[in-house]
């Protein structure tokens, strides 16, 4: 692929090119840290959930020693999915032919095989890097990727006072939708606040005015931006490529996650973490986000997500054409960090 200028909008081909999408799967989703879930999903030994890394099925678990781990979710026999959803167990049994694996990935049982027919030691499930940061769990298929703590260390001073690791993730109040848009369109829309006044004039702009947004710190690995609330504390917006964006207010952490399904299809997952703080003591935005998350179980998505979905899908329809990419403004500077991330992964 040709190089591109990270200080300008992405060329339209980035949203429609099938070969580029495959390159992203290989160099981003299969080679970098990817957000998969939260520590509350694997709170106890034996807890597990299934995840997807750019089409590669993964099991994320807490083993019997209490350590986070990640295994391939494909049976070493004929590649069948071992598990789906969530659960708690010490071993994983394939539903097809009952090949059974321990939670360290080792193969322990092959029904109806003669004693020397199968070398169990050669048929273990692949193990991947797995680590957590402030309650968020990440998996990397690449054993040589830099430690997670190094990746986000420039955010520590910003995130530390909010004590994210102490918040409780409401796993029962997550919503998932499929949007007809490229994953990069969805990520870019989630991380910049420039569009709030135009796309969310009633749902977000009154609480988080566009004019109050500002850049805090960032690089190609992650960025933090902020904004002034209407009559309340400032909020912090974390952008953690390739697939996580979250907004922090007092006692509240609402996030959006993307999973690429195809060039023009993305699974968008929304969720949240909260403290036990009395909602009456929360800031204006914090209260709004709590109410929005509470409505997830009733209406599936917060009020502003349909507006985001509509503009992202509109952008995808426009990707059939070509245009001369315009400049990234100071108010959307976080996109320069995102574009540098893409360039560093794809051009390496």
Own/partner pairs, 151-160, CB within 8 angstroms, 24+ separation: 151/33, 151/221, 151/222, 152/221, 152/222, 152/240, 154/217, 154/218, 154/219, 154/221, 154/222, 155/217, 155/222, 155/224, 155/238, 158/216, 158/217, 158/224, 158/236, 159/134, 159/224, 159/236, 159/238, 159/248
User: Which tokens go with 159?
Assistant: 């995130």
Domain boundaries defined on the chain:
33-144, 162-346
pLDDT for residue 229: 75
The H or E element containing residue 297 is helix 296-299
pTM: predicted TM-score of the whole model, two decimal places: 0.91
Q: Per-residue confidence at 169, pLDDT binned at 50, 70, 90?
A: confident
- Tell me: the pLDDT tens digits for 75-134? 999 999 999 999 999 999 999 999 999 999 999 999 999 988 999 999 999 999 999 999
Q: Is the pLDDT of residue 198 over 90?
A: yes
Q: Which of 17-21, 92-96, 157-161, 163-167 is least confident?
A: 163-167
Quickly name the fold that domain 33-144 has: Rieske Iron-sulfur Protein (2.102.10)
Q: Is the pLDDT of residue 232 over 90?
A: no
**Which CATH number is correct for 162-346, 3.40.50.300, 3.90.380.10, 3.40.50.2300, 3.40.1000.10?**
3.90.380.10
Contact 216, 155 (CB under 8 A): no
Q: Is the pLDDT of residue 57 over 80?
A: yes
pLDDT for residue 303: 80
pLDDT for residue 245: 98
């Amino acid at each position: 692929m040709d190089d591109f200028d990270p200080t300008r909008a992405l060329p339209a081909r980035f949203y429609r090119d099938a070969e580029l999408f495959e390159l992203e799967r290989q160099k981003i989703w299969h080679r970098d840290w990817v957000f998969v879930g939260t520590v509350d999903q694997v709170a106890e030994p034996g807890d597990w959930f299934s995840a997807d890394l750019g089409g590669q099925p993964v099991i994320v678990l807490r083993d019997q020693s209490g350590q986070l781990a990640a295994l391939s979710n494909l049976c070493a026999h004929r590649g069948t999915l071992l598990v789906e959803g969530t659960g708690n167990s010490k071993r994983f049994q394939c539903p097809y032919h009952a090949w059974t694996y321990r939670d360290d990935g080792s193969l322990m049982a092959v029904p109806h095989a003669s004693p020397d027919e199968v070398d169990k030691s050669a048929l273990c499930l692949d193990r991947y890097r797995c680590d957590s940061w402030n309650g968020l769990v990440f998996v990397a298929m690449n054993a040589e990727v830099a430690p997670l703590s190094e990746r986000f260390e420039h955010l520590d001073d910003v995130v530390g006072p909010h004590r994210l690791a102490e918040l409780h993730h409401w796993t029962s109040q997550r919503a998932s939708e499929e949007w007809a848009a490229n994953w990069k369109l969805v990520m870019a829309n989630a991380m910049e606040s420039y569009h709030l006044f135009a796309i969310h004039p009633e749902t977000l702009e009154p609480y988080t005015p566009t004019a109050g947004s500002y850049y805090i710190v960032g690089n190609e690995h992650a960025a933090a931006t902020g904004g002034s609330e209407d009559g309340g504390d400032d909020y912090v917006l974390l952008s953690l490529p390739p697939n996580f964006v979250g907004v922090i207010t007092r006692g509240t952490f609402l996030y959006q996650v993307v999973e690429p399904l195809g060039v023009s299809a993305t699974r968008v997952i929304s969720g949240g973490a909260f403290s036990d703080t009395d909602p009456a003591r929360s800031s204006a935005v914090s209260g709004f986000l709590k109410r929005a998350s509470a409505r997830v179980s009733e209406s599936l998505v917060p009020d502003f997500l349909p507006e985001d979905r509509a503009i992202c899908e509109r952008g995808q329809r426009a990707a059939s054409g070509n245009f001369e990419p315009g400049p990234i403004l100071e108010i959307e500077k976080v996109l320069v960090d995102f574009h540098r991330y893409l360039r560093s992964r794809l051009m390496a």
